[in-house]
Amino acid sequence: MKKENNWNLPNLKLAQMRTKDKVKVEKTFAIPENMMNIGAGRKFYLRTYGCQANERDGESIAGILEQLEFTQVQTPQEADLIIFNTCAVRKNAEDKVIGELGHLKKLKLINPDLMFALCGCMAQEEDVVDLIIKKHRHIDLIFGTHNIHRLPELLYNAMMNKERTIEVFSKEGDVIENLPVKRFGTHKAWVNIMYGCDKFCTYCIVPYTRGKERSRELEDIMQEIHVLIAEGFKEITLLGQNVNAYGKDLGLENGFADLMESVAKCDIPRIRFTTSHPYDFTKEMVDVIAKYDNIMPFMHLPVQSGDSDMLKIMGRRYSVEQYKELFDYINEKIKNCSFSTDIIVGFPNESKEQFQRTLDLVDYCKFDNAFTFIYSPREGTPAAKMEDNVPFEEKQERLQRLMAKTNVHASAKNLAWQGKVVKVLVDGMSKKNKEIYSGYTEQNKLVNFTATDVKVGDIVEVKINEAKTWTLDGEKI
Ligand code: SAH
Ligand code: SF4
Ligand code: F3S
């Protein structure tokens, strides 16, 4: 039954290539007539792992499936189609996906028509697809990050021809403009401003799984934002692996600063952006953020390490001094700015002294929040070939020490909000107590507060009564 020759398998060597070829912008998405209702009477369950880019892709996948007349359900047990939209950034996240897929396999015994699909960044990896082909025969469909728009055809093939279908393109990537979208949020939305990444940090798989850095045209971004505003959205997060490089590939000089300014002039109360790369973060960008009240005073500014030699080996393109200079400039210009960061411990051959410098940097910056990871080798990346003299137990111990320190700063930062009045965008009500709501402050702090007369999507003033390590408690005033 299977036609293995039709498969398009991932290729990391091809995925790594970058040319100067102009990016193609495709606006031709349409569902072929004979596929229009292949989902009628069928239900799909979608689980997304990883970053916001993947979340946003999930919204397009759901949008396409609903146009095919599938209905979304909230548990795999109810579904006729189970889709895992996956992340490849660290091995432990991948192991979880593989484990879960194995665990759900038995549902096929109850529903023989049940189909499994895997997409997202893991689908772009040679070793993962190889493993699935050999050991997880219940996965019916694999598609990658570059061909979400091909989902109708691929599903049709898998469903109608009862054929295992694998199509993954390892290419630099196009920009696909008019995919359907089912927004999962009611008042907060993601907007891609660029795709891919050209930084090639030596540990990171993203440039291979997502292709080359390619920015959307300003008009296309603004059009999406105008629709969101008309639909009543209150917060927009501009997305890219490296938003500060927005527009470089389009030949724009001040791309991200100008884009933020255009968005800030729209009638939208809250604008956020992620992820920032310190290398491309210019003073002009900081000045624009400082100038507009609706650009939120919160930076996710990954540092990765507090040692300049290590940063060089990681391919990060900035020194600790340059990072601190940017950090200080942001702090000086943007009042009450909060910061989060990403840090990797146990990169190959990280010395005790280098790790100590990371701890010192954490003490210098006193981040509001830090995402800390043990280095995970990713096949195909330069770091994966490096010899490593740091035992895993040592890495675990470093992670514990780092987390103990980042927690102390997070608590202290939260404590400073005690007694203050903050603006909170209401996300929802507590399941247990109808008088307790939650939402985020401008600085991206999660607040649980008491109130009686608020709606999801309102922006309300809350007095903070108690600070905990990760949340603030308060009451609406
Ligand atoms: N584009 C963003 C982040 C992408 S991945 C940026 O450049 O900051 C999110 C985080 O995962 C990274 O910041 C890094 O800290 C971590 N990460 C990436 N690859 C990793 C690896 N191989 N092992 C451990 N952590 C990794
Ligand atoms: Fe990965 Fe570096 Fe690109 Fe971020 S900037 S996605 S860490 S290669
Ligand atoms: Fe993961 Fe891919 Fe995002 S590897 S972090 S889902 S770009």
Express each pLDDT in 258-269 by its tens digit. 999 999 999 999
Return d(Cα 377, Cα 382) in angstroms, integer: 9
Q: Name beta bridge partners: 237.
A: 190, 272
Going by alpha carbons, the residue nearest to atom 21 of ligand 1 is 376
From 273, 373, 385, 386, mutation site for ligand 1 pocket: most ligand atoms within 8 A of C-beta: 373
* CA–centroid distance, residue 421 to ligand 2 (Å): 37
Return d(Cα 384, Cα 322) in angstroms, integer: 27
Strands 43-48 and 81-86: parallel
* CA–centroid distance, residue 209 to ligand 3 (Å): 8
Q: Is 90 close to ligand 1, i.e. is its CB under 6 Å away?
A: yes
Secondary structure E strands in 149-207: 165-167, 175-176, 188-192, 194-195
DSSP assignment of 450-467 equals E-SS--TT-EEEEEEEEE
Task: Judge whether 91 and 53 are in contact, CB under 8 Å.
Answer: no
Q: Which helix (H) or strand (E) holds 359?
A: helix 352-365
* CATH tag, 12-167: 3.40.50.12160
* pLDDT at site 5: 65
* CA–centroid distance, residue 30 to ligand 3 (Å): 27
One-letter amino acid for residue 92 of the chain:
N
- For residue 43, the number of C-alpha atoms closer than 13 Å in the C-beta half-sphere is 10
Structure tokens at 143: 């598609």
Strands 214-215 and 81-86: unpaired
* CA–centroid distance, residue 196 to ligand 2 (Å): 9
Which residues, in sequence order, are CB contacts of 326 under 8 Å at separation 6+? 278, 281, 286, 301, 318
Q: Which atom of ligand 1 is nearest to the CA of 343?
A: 15
Going by alpha carbons, the residue nearest to atom 7 of ligand 3 is 206
SS (H, E, C) 77-104: HHCCEEEEEECCCCHHHHHHHHHHHHHH
Return d(Cα 119, Cα 50) in angstroms, integer: 12
Q: 442-477, pLDDT tens digit by residue?
A: 999 999 999 988 999 999 999 999 999 889 999 999
Task: Judge whether 323 and 278 are in contact, CB under 8 Å.
Answer: yes
Q: Which atom of ligand 1 is nearest to the CA of 203?
A: 22
Q: 35-78, pLDDT tens digit by residue?
A: 999 999 999 999 999 999 999 999 999 999 999 999 999 999 99
Going by alpha carbons, the residue nearest to atom 5 of ligand 2 is 199
Q: 415-443, pLDDT tens digit by residue?
A: 999 999 999 999 998 878 888 999 999 99
For 76, which DSSP code? G
Parse the chain into domains and list their residue ranges. 12-167, 175-415, 421-476
Give the pLDDT mean for 402-427.
Answer: 97
Give the pLDDT mean for 217-224.
Answer: 97
Reported confidence tier of residue 107, pLDDT bands at 50, 70, 90: very high
Q: Is 51 close to ligand 3, i.e. is its CB under 6 Å away?
A: yes
Q: Is 378 close to ligand 2, i.e. is its CB under 6 Å away?
A: no
DSSP assignment of 3-71 equals -GGG-B---HHHHH----PPPPEE------GGGTTTTTT-EEEEEE-SSHHHHHHHHHHHHHHHHTT-E
Which residues, in sequence order, are CB contacts of 61 under 8 Å at separation 6+? 46, 83, 85, 119, 148, 151
Q: Is 447 close to ligand 3, i.e. is its CB under 6 Å away?
A: no
Secondary structure E strands in 275-322: 298-300
Q: Is the pLDDT of residue 153 over 80?
A: yes
Q: Which ligand is nearest to the CA of 93?
A: 3
Question: CA angle 51-403-473, nearest 5°?
Answer: 75
Structure tokens at 407: 């927690």
* pLDDT at site 28: 87
Give the pLDDT mean for 290-310.
Answer: 98
345-366 per-residue burial string, b: 16 or more CB within 10 A, e: under 16 = bbbbebeeebbebbbebbeebe
Return d(Cα 226, Cα 274) in angstroms, integer: 20
Give the pLDDT mean for 368-394.
Answer: 97
Its pTM stands at: 0.96
* pLDDT at site 1: 40
* CA–centroid distance, residue 434 to ligand 3 (Å): 36
Tracing tokens 């927690």 back to the chain, one arrives at 407
* CA–centroid distance, residue 316 to ligand 2 (Å): 8
Architecture of domain 175-415: Alpha-Beta Horseshoe (3.80)
Q: Is 50 close to ligand 3, i.e. is its CB under 6 Å away?
A: yes
* CA–centroid distance, residue 256 to ligand 1 (Å): 22
Dihedral of CA atoms 450, 237, 326, 420 in degrees, nearest 10, equals -10
Closest to 334 (Cα-Cα) out of 443, 257, 242, 459:
443
Q: Is 302 close to ligand 1, i.e. is its CB under 6 Å away?
A: yes
Count Cβ atoms below 10 Å from residue 262 Cβ, excluding itself.
12
Closest to 459 (Cα-Cα) out of 435, 476, 472:
476
Reported confidence tier of residue 6, pLDDT bands at 50, 70, 90: confident
* pLDDT at site 350: 98
Give the pLDDT mean for 372-384.
Answer: 97
Architecture of domain 421-476: Beta Barrel (2.40)
